[in-house]
Copies of this chain bind each other. A is one copy, B any other.
Amino acid sequence: MIQHVDAHMMLTLDGFGTGLNQSRERPFGTIDPRQLARWMFEDADNNRAEIDAVVSYGAFVMGRNMFAAPGPDAWEPEWTGWWGANPPYHAEVFVLTHYSRPSIKMEGGTTFHFITNGPEVALAEARAAAGSRNVAIAGGVSTTRHYLNSGDIDTLHLKIAPLLAGEGDRLWDGLTAKLEPIAARHSKYATHIDYRVVK
């Protein structure tokens, strides 16, 4: 069996996955998550397959700002992510960071590991942890762009919400990967477009 590496990302029409001024209170900064993720919150029945797919992996890699808002260099030990006591991953999650921190075992099988020796090592650890299952790059924008450009991602699953951000972190800025559409589907609050990364 070939192990795949996928990425799932919510974007605005104008290509932003995060707005400006991300904070603990606003994980997407100036982008309103109730709008960006409206397809999940208000139309879950019609997007069940896509909602389930996001967390259907054997291990995950995420960027530092996907785990915590930008802040002081050192970790604040009470911060354990945005997802409460029982995060939706239920698997090993490898967080890219420059500052080491002990792993955090959460309820429901999620463990956050903090990887300080780079994205290649983080992905290798996730691949090993996933065993026979696939691996997902869980965001944010710059981490996903990194793994798209490095050729590590097989399929990019975009969920494009019909709103504009105007500024923030745009997936397209600096992207060098070549993409080919392989699926597209709409629901009321988002279009789901899947791209194969051409290698």
A170 CB contacts on chain B under 8 angstroms: 14
Q: Which of A26-34, A96-104, A183-191 contacts B (4 or more CB under 8 A)?
A: A183-191
The answer to whether A184 and B185 touch across the interface, beta carbons within 8 angstroms, is yes
Question: Would you give 30 A-B contacts (Cβ < 8 Å), ordered by A?
Answer: A13-B15, A13-B172, A13-B179, A14-B15, A14-B170, A14-B172, A14-B173, A15-B15, A162-B178, A162-B179, A162-B180, A162-B181, A164-B175, A180-B188, A180-B189, A181-B186, A181-B187, A181-B188, A181-B189, A181-B190, A181-B191, A183-B186, A184-B184, A184-B186, A184-B191, A184-B192, A184-B193, A186-B193, A191-B193, A193-B193
Interface residues of A (CB under 8 A from B): 13-15, 162, 164, 170, 172-173, 175, 178-193, 195
